[in-house]
Amino acid sequence: MTDIKVNRREFLNRVGVGVAAVPGWTARSYSSIPGANEKLLVGIIGCGKMGSIHLEALLTLQETDNVQVVSVCDIYSKRLTAAATKSGATAFSDYQDLLSQKNLDYAVIATPEHWHHKMALDTLAAGKHVYLEKPMAQTIPQVQEIVREVKKSGLKMQVGVQGMSDETYQVANDYIRSGTLGKVVMAQIDYSRNYADDFWAYDIDPEADPNTNLNWSAWLGPASKQPWDPRRFFQWRRYWDYSGGIATDLFIHRVTRIIKSVGLTFPEHVVASGGTWQFGNSEAEIPDTFNMLCDYPGGPTVSLISSMANDFPVDHVIRGHKATLRFTKEGFIITPQELVIENKVAPEEFRAQKLWSKVYRKKGAEDVILHHQNLQNAIRNGSPLNCDEMLGYYGSVVTSMGVGSFRRKKYLRWDPKNQQVKLA
């Protein structure tokens, strides 16, 4: 018998099934479905530090996972040339030209935060699936617009919280939903570093020149107009125009783990505090120490802790009335509260173990490669995304509220009816 490989598009044509007959498929999503054996073609927008990490990951997958980086884009020609040389991909200085490629399956958006909103919408409008680095956008209305467009298009969007490709948090959610921890009342998690002289003060390339090899106006895009400043270009995480600082660059990784584990959506109240306590001579607009308290409806309170001047670790724990779940590098450990031990009411599965504890060893990881493979499986086979637009939305809302609370020095609340932030 001859082995005939038919992709999904051909199959539907042969059996006479229209697009409208397939639930969840729109004209755009239908046109973007490759067969299981077809090569996926990828474009990368932004060839800086994070874009280079994505490029390395995708080049690793080219032979094993039948994927190819066919186009790269950056407004700094030095970075663009390096990425194109490394990958053999076509180089574009304008991302719209990259998106106009008809056979492109998905685009990776690895630019500063102020470009995420427009680039995501343009990518969806071009009929391409999206890998969008976190946070989804700078403002909650922008995120909401992206969510609407993803749902309308039927296309796939993976949000770049790579820790969601570690299955630990879904397994933790299974235990929490089963009642193992009892009522969850509090969670705490941190993301701290310790810089010597200044924080996020990345090296400035002296070859960058807006008159010859860098399009400064295009880089600013929707942000406020500024004269050329190499610090803003190379150290953009330090400026409110382009970044939410610790909240949107670091906390979003951590709070999404708690959201996934506990099964949370939108917070009820958020308050943030902190300041520039160590690096008083820094050019950074954002603080070097930043903390958030986030109350979710009916509990828990989620505490997010960070300093760029001290990296002593804080235990990452979810506290329940019956037990505490502590995340480790290997997975997690659930330890019952003494109240439960004394009353001998531990869950049946715990009884045979010392102190009735439960140890889980993870199989996945916080890994860019795994995150891309998950998106590729979603595109090819409809597999669930590890960090889809809704999980990305929940993380973006709480971190955006943290930034708003800090900058306004106000206690903020979420209005669930109107899906917007208000003063408490």
pLDDT, position 153: 98
User: Domain check: are 169 and 316 in the same one?
Assistant: yes
* pLDDT reading at 4 higher than 50: no
Would residue 402 count as lying in a domain? yes
Would residue 318 count as lying in a domain? yes
Would residue 214 count as lying in a domain? no
User: Domain check: are 155 and 251 in the same one?
Assistant: no
Q: What is the pLDDT of residues 210-220, one digit of tens each?
A: 999 999 999 99
Would residue 209 count as lying in a domain? no
User: Domain check: are 57 and 74 in the same one?
Assistant: yes
CATH number at residue 311: 3.30.360.10
Would residue 140 count as lying in a domain? yes
CATH number at residue 83: 3.40.50.720
User: Domain check: are 42 and 145 in the same one?
Assistant: yes
Would residue 248 count as lying in a domain? yes
Q: Which residues neighbour 385 within 8 Å (Cβ) at sequence distance 6 or greater? A: 156, 157, 158, 374, 375, 378
User: Domain check: are 255 and 276 in the same one?
Assistant: yes
C-beta separation of 273 from 156 below 8 A: no
How many whole angstroms separate alpha carbon 280 and alpha carbon 282?
A: 6
Q: What is the DSSP letter of 200?
A: S
Give the three-class secondary structure for 390. helix
Q: What is the pLDDT of residues 73-109, one digit of tens each?
A: 999 999 999 999 999 999 999 999 999 999 999 999 9
Would residue 65 count as lying in a domain? yes
Q: What share of the chain is helix, strand, coil (3-state, %, to 5)?
A: 40, 20, 40
Dihedral of the CA atoms 385, 386, 387, 388 (nearest 10)? 20
User: Domain check: are 149 and 255 in the same one?
Assistant: no
How many whole angstroms separate alpha carbon 145 and alpha carbon 157?
A: 13
* pLDDT reading at 5 higher than 80: no
User: Domain check: are 402 and 415 in the same one?
Assistant: yes
Residues spanned by the domain of 178: 165-199+240-364+394-423
Residue 284 CA to its chain's centroid (Å)? 23
**Residue 412: band (very low, low, confident or very high) from pLDDT cuts 50, 70, 90:** very high
How many whole angstroms separate alpha carbon 387 and alpha carbon 238?
A: 26
User: Domain check: are 322 and 188 in the same one?
Assistant: yes
User: Domain check: are 32 and 128 in the same one?
Assistant: yes
User: Domain check: are 54 and 134 in the same one?
Assistant: yes
How many whole angstroms separate alpha carbon 300 and alpha carbon 421?
A: 19
The pair phi, psi for residue 346, each rounded to 5°, is: -65, 150
Q: Which residues neighbour 6 within 8 Å (Cβ) at sequence distance 6 or greater? A: 14, 35
User: Domain check: are 150 and 248 in the same one?
Assistant: no
DSSP 142-170: HHHHHHHHHHHHT--EEEE-GGGGSTHHH
Q: What is the pLDDT of residues 261-277, one digit of tens each?
A: 999 999 999 999 999 99
Rg (CA), the chain: 23
User: Domain check: are 144 and 192 in the same one?
Assistant: no
How many whole angstroms separate alpha carbon 383 and alpha carbon 361?
A: 24
C-beta separation of 266 from 235 below 8 A: no
Model-level pTM? 0.89
Would residue 23 count as lying in a domain? yes
Query: How many Å is the maximal CA-CA distance in the chain?
Result: 75
Q: What is the pLDDT of residues 98-153, one digit of tens each?
A: 999 999 999 999 999 999 999 999 999 999 999 999 999 999 999 999 999 999 99
Domain count, the chain: 2
